[in-house]
A and B are shown apart, each in its own frame.
Chain A
Amino acid sequence: MRTARRSESSNTGTARRSESSNTGTARRSESSSMRRRLRSFAIEFWLPVLIVVLWWVGSARADLVFYPPLAEILGRFQDLWLFDRFFTDVIPSLRNMLVGYALSCLVGVGLGVVVAQVRIARHALEPLVHFLRSIPPVALVPIAILVLGFGPEMKMTIIAFSAVFATLIATLDGVRAADPVLAEVTRVYRVSGRDRLFKVILPAAAPQILSGLQVSLQIAFVVMITSEMLASTEGIGYLTILAQQTFAITDMWAGMLLLGILGYLFNLLFTLAERRVLHWHIGMRSQAKTH
């Protein structure tokens, strides 16, 4: 919310600047706003930069077993993940995760939309779904290993199965919470079939569906790592935990670094996509706030 408001104000700022860019006062205000921007940039970045520098220098000097030099970690990162292990481990991990997640999205949203319309199906499904959601997703991994073995199919399946419930429940709630007036509008104007689904039902539930999808994404990521740590001979999670167990400390750090970057990137991409899909919702909310 806060970041949205921030970017909005900076947008109006640039608009105002471009409008009056011909006059001399504008040039002066431009330079002062440049200075302001530099200042705010400095405030946002000084601490992260300082931490990285301290880590770099500190780890290079000290002779700590568990904290190898950052330069070495980055070197291993490059060798391992960008070259040696890219096709054998990074790609399989990402493929399992994305296939599993895509499945959970499709099934969660699809089933949610259908079940939300049929009252008896909803009542039948809700207790089961709520119970299954309450089981820690990673606890299903041992069962999946037993039933499906150690292959990539097991991983995709367990990722999809663990992640589906958050989306399913959010979709159910979102579709049901939609304004009944909209349902009447669609009936009076005989909007049906694909239009009803894609232009009314799904957009109306989109805010909830997307927050469900975000939780599912986090679960999918954690379950991907867990399934590799518990049962695998390949993948980023497997190599990282193996490095830890064999005291290959630098490799372990490189693995943690990659997983951290992936976790951050997945979330970032999702947030960007969400902002695009829900631009109307964000605009409406900021409108309501200013009035």
Chain B
Amino acid sequence: MAITSIRRFPATGKTRVAGSNALVVGAIAVLICLAVWEVGARGPLAGGPFPTVGAIAGGLVGLVGEATFWSSLGETLMTALVGLGLAVLSGVLLGVVLGSVDFVYRSTRLIIEVLKPIPPIVVMPLVLLLLGPTTEMGVFLVFYGCLWPVLIQTVAGVRDADPVLLDTARSFGFGRLQRAVRIVLPGAAAFIVTGVRIAGAAAFVIAVVSELVGGAPGIGRDLFVAQNAGLYAQMYALVFVMGVVGLAFNTGLGAFEKWMLHWHPSVRREVVA
């Protein structure tokens, strides 16, 4: 009768063993994928647009040995970082103003609301027209794309500032600028850091877009050239490089955010005390 009520405990033992070997399992899965690719590239898909793993590795080694590759990569990173830097700088400055003056905030809210979800590639035709396929064009697109997250996060952080703290500061005779630097910015730091992380992840992607579609110098343009020239091994090698760079970007930004946010509460406590 009550047999249906009996249910076995889940096999916790077996899964726990797998848990300790997460890296091994992941590595095996990667190897299996590479093996499948290799078999496919040699067998049924031979002659198609799938070079063997060895050929791609060869393409990668060839790239690493070329000075032009490194200058392209430098070009791309430069575009991403300069654009990001400009966006952070102006985003934070603008954000503090918008966040602390209610009239300005409410006057610009709609404009930001409308522009925020429009990706940089939409404005690219115009920027391309004005600046041509240049690094400046790439930098501007990265700047445009990264501005919104930084700006929006800064505004949120500034508006989140503790009113008691601000009143206290005012009673001590702090001026507007002093209040902004001493109270509002440290308080908003956590928000801003998150904004920078989001923007940073986008920066590299936008740089590649501006090169691949817009023709600005960098590895994105190299990818376009490799595809058109039929240099398939090199093309896959470039995509692999982009994956590695993207991963490094994301990991670095994640670590940066963690470090900043870890550091942040102690700062906040100091201000309160």
Residues of chain A having any CB pair with chain B under 8 Å: 1-2, 40, 43-48, 51, 66, 119-120, 123-128, 130-143, 145-147, 190, 218, 221-222, 225-226, 229-230, 240-241, 243-244, 249, 252-253, 255-256, 259-260, 263-264, 266-268
Contacts and interface: CB of A to CB of B under 8 A. Distances in A.
A244 B125 contact: yes
A132 to B, nearest CB: 7
20 contacts: A40-B106, A44-B109, A47-B110, A48-B111, A51-B111, A126-B26, A127-B27, A134-B242, A134-B247, A138-B205, A138-B209, A139-B238, A230-B213, A241-B125, A241-B213, A244-B125, A244-B126, A252-B125, A260-B123, A264-B114
Contacts of A2: 156, 159
Contacts of A48: 110-111, 114
Given A43-B107, A134-B243, A222-B209, A1 B22 contact: no
Contacts of A226: 121, 209, 212-213
Given A44-B109, A142-B227, A256-B123, A136 B205 contact: yes
B117 A252 contact: no
Interface of B: 7, 15, 18-19, 21-22, 25-30, 33, 48-50, 103, 106-111, 114, 116-119, 121-123, 125-126, 128-130, 156, 159, 204-205, 208-209, 212-213, 220, 223-224, 226-227, 232, 235-236, 238-239, 242-247, 249-250
A123 B159 CA distance: 41
A252 B126 contact: yes
Contact of A249 (B15, B117, B129, B250): B129
A222 B49 CA distance: 25
Nearest to B123: A256
Nearest to A252: B125
A185 B140 CA distance: 53
Contacts of B111: 47-48, 51
Nearest to A221: B119
A139 B125 contact: no
A192 B208 CA distance: 46
Q: Which 7 A-B pairs have the closest CB atoms?
A: A134-B246, A267-B117, A124-B29, A146-B49, A123-B25, A244-B125, A134-B247
What's the dominant secondary structure at chain B's contact region?
A: helix
A119 B14 CA distance: 10
Given A123-B18, A128-B33, A241-B125, A136 B242 contact: yes
A52 B197 CA distance: 33
A19 B26 CA distance: 62
Given A131-B247, A264-B118, A66 B130 contact: yes
Contact of A143 (B18, B109, B119, B236): B236
A142 B107 CA distance: 42
Contact of B128 (A43, A145, A221, A244): A244
B121 A125 contact: no
Contacts of B121: 222, 225-226, 229
Contact of A120 (B7, B15, B50, B244): B15
Contacts of A240: 125
A255 B123 CA distance: 10
Contacts of A130: 247
Given A134-B245, A134-B246, A146-B49, 15 more contacts: A2-B156, A46-B107, A134-B247, A138-B205, A139-B212, A139-B238, A218-B119, A221-B119, A222-B209, A226-B213, A229-B213, A256-B126, A259-B122, A260-B118, A260-B122
